[in-house]
A and B are shown apart, each in its own frame.
Chain A
Amino acid sequence: MTFKTDLPVMMPVKPHEPEPFLRLKLWHVVPIALLCIVGTTLAFAADGDAKQSPLAVLMNWAPLLLRGFIFNLVISVSAMALGTAVGALLGLGQISPNRIMSGGSWFVTQFFRNAPWLVLLFFAMFLLPFELSILGLKIPFPDWFKAILGLSLPVMANVSEIVRGAVKSLPSGQWEAAESLAYTRRQTLWLIILPQCVKRMLPPWMNLYSILTMATVLASIVGVSEVMTLTGRALSAEGGRPELLAPFYGFVLLLFFVYCYPIARYTVRLEKKFAVIN
């Protein structure tokens, strides 16, 4: 039987699925990039001068810029590794039953978590010596190494909070069950608590990595030869032609997007998956 009604409660319920405004797929990047790069080239062609087209100039420089970008990735992976290792220890320190230990770890975490990344980077750059002599052995501290140290500080503090938050988010019954089975605190932590935390820590950790990768361009301000620095140099080598700005910086944006967007999508997928399990 069907009957007409305009009462909303009587209408069949349509499952309302909020459509994301724009769901970007990886291939969408191609038209966007073409628009940026070809667009300026066309504008240039209309100009009709004898200089090389922006696209051709970009192609000349692309291998160098790519190498610079790979350097960004090396910095990001290294800073992430270092920050994660130290941050995990700091996070465990925060949940230590020892008051001095937990208080100290808490303070260090809060200090570095609430500091601007660029300031920390400057600190690492200008306070660390350019080389260190240990027993007559001179160990050089190149700029890129200092950049890794500087960027690993905020990563460390954020990882520390991720670890603390994940441990605290487990129900206390897990601790009690382990205690009542005579596990030591250390066994409880390593066999029971932390394995359950990994799952909870993964999405925020990947998020942090994505943010860190995008923050590696800060190293250009302190003179590390990463992609932004190289882009700037390439532009000035080309005589500062303004029509080159959009294609060059567009290219850099594209590189970061292609690298970071899949990470972001995958993080969302993991978050959804774990939300179902828990």
Chain B
Amino acid sequence: MSWTPADPMVSIKDVHKSFGDLKVLNGVSLDVMKGDVICIIGPSGSGKSTLIRCVNALNDIQQGSILVEGQEVNDPALDKLELRKKVGMVFQQYNLFPHKTALQNVMMAPVRVLKRDKVEAEKQARDLLAKVRLQGKEDAFPGELSGGQQQRVAIARSLAMQPDVILFDEVTAALDPETVGEVLQTIKDLAEDGMTCILVTHEMGFAREVADHIYFTDRGVIVEHGPPAIFFDNATDPRTKEFLSQIL
């Protein structure tokens, strides 16, 4: 079966996952088309983060199927490195490499993993840092940057691999309120450029503004989903309503 851009870029079907006796995902299915921005929201412990960590095989799944551009992730013979070249990820705690400068953080993977030319990779890294509005911070170490700046470096680092889809795992949850905006703006820019994004987030206003589709998860299942306008104003499921009433 060959994948074409008309097929879903990421196709999750009936995924089950448990840590020991704890069932975290209980039959989750969703499709993400190329250029889509989808937001997964839901209460803590509902399996949102686990779900997206399964997409780039940081977590394995026990049952079901995850296709990324037609490639089955739930496959013992999976080439994880090839998968991860296509799927970028940005973490809640940024996870920049503290012993490397911002520039090195961004250009290291293209040079070492993709074996790209160093000069060209450095040029791309500088462009990306400019794109996330961090000109002049190229030589700063992560410890010298604010949380928001670090997170933008992390986004640039992920972009440097030229992935087809990027996973955002609660990327603003560890930030000071005043720096959340700059990170969200960066993601919005990406979305406008047509990058396929899967976000786990608690930023409802942002989800409403940017997402093409919202998924609400609770206790390992998708309770309700829809375009933001319908989802936020006309939620039907009582669990969704309760959650939204607490948050909004």
Contacts and interface: CB of A to CB of B under 8 A. Distances in A.
Given A173-B91, A277-B143, A180 B98 contact: no
Interface centre among A176, A180, A277 (most CB of B within 10 A): A180
A115 to B, nearest CB: 35
A179 B95 contact: no
B95 A177 contact: yes
Contact of B113 (A176, A177, A187, A195): A187
B108 A191 contact: yes
A182 interface: yes
The contact size tier of chain A is 10 to 19
A180 B99 CA distance: 18
The contact size tier of chain B is 20 to 34
A176 B95 contact: yes
A96 interface: no
Contact of B56 (A171, A174, A180, A196): A180
B123 to A, nearest CB: 19
B95 A182 contact: no
Contacts of A277: 143
A256 interface: no
Nearest to B112: A187
A199 to B, nearest CB: 8
Given A181-B161, A196-B99, A176 B109 contact: no
A193 to B, nearest CB: 10
A222 B84 CA distance: 58
Contacts of A182: 80-82, 84-85, 109, 113, 161
5 contacts: A179-B84, A180-B89, A181-B113, A181-B158, A181-B161
Interface of A: 171, 173-174, 176-184, 187, 191-192, 195-196, 277
What 3 A-B pairs have minimum CB-CB distances, sorted nearest first? A177-B95, A173-B95, A182-B84
